[in-house]
Amino acid sequence: MSEFIYTKTRPLNYSFNILVIFLFQIMSYNGYADIFWENLFSKYSLFNIVVIKGFFFYMSLFWLISSLYLLLDIFKFSKYLYSFKVQLATEITISDIIKASKIVLRNQLFGVLPVLYLYYKLLTKIDFSFNPKHTIFEDMKNFFWFCIIEEIWFYTFHRLAHHKYFYKHVHKMHHEYKAPFCLTAQYCSLIEQIVINITPLMLGPLIMQSHPHAILMWFLLSIVSALHSHSDYNFPFMASVMFHDFHHYNYKGNYGVFVFMDKLFNTDKEYNKFKENYKKI
């Protein structure tokens, strides 16, 4: 078993998320966001914005953030940052990165892109029309429901994927690495990529028929969060990775993203027991 170093959640762990939300709302308050989206929708078709530009944004952000984590994994360029690694006994190799990258690229081309196209088609079916005006209150209300919808969907299907009838064919690949690294966020079967990773990301914006500004904020935070929660680095300025890292370490429990479903169904009991018996640092 790899050494698992537990560190408790600190108030500063939410600094990055708060900063992103704050900056997005500043843009809304000053009217810059409305001008940007109005210009974008006047120049490009809905297909171009949702499918082409949406996929470009997704890929660019995913691989940019991944590269930073991978550079730290391989070159350990900062002793300070590397000191926040949770499972210190394991090291990521170039062969691990190449192996995972092939699966991730497959899942993005045949998972993310088709779901974006389906999202575009559903928007046309509900007769989506762009309204450049939106409020901070609307953005935050949408963001709240995005979190609720994602948690319910992700928890349900993630827990189902651990059932013996589905685990081998759907979820086993994702658990090849007991100590995860950023690319393992999408190192999984194609069906898991579509049903568990991408669908809950898109479902909230579709149900709420949200303004693109709120969706962009949601995508940015969700992609960064997915990569960070699999990075094995518990940085003090970002959301704690301990909850999901323990899921990879232990295989059981901790099925959700935002914790409340695990609290509701008591599927975080092994994690809580582990914390109680561990000398916190």
Tell me the pLDDT tens digit for each residue of 139-152: 889 999 999 999 99
Q: State the pTM of this model.
A: 0.90
**Within a 13 Å sphere around the CA of 161, how many CA atoms are in the beta-carbon half?**
27
Least confident of 4-8, 59-63, 264-268: 4-8
Q: What is the pLDDT of residue 58?
A: 96
Using one digit for the tens of pLDDT, what is the confidence trace for 13-36? 667 777 788 777 787 766 777 888
Task: List the single range of 5-9, 52-56, 247-251 with lowest mean pLDDT.
Answer: 5-9
Higher-scoring residue by pLDDT: 278, 138: 138
Mean per-residue pLDDT of the chain? 88
pLDDT at 1 > cutoff 50: no
pLDDT over 90 at 279, yes or no:
no
Joined tokens for residue 132 = 């450049």
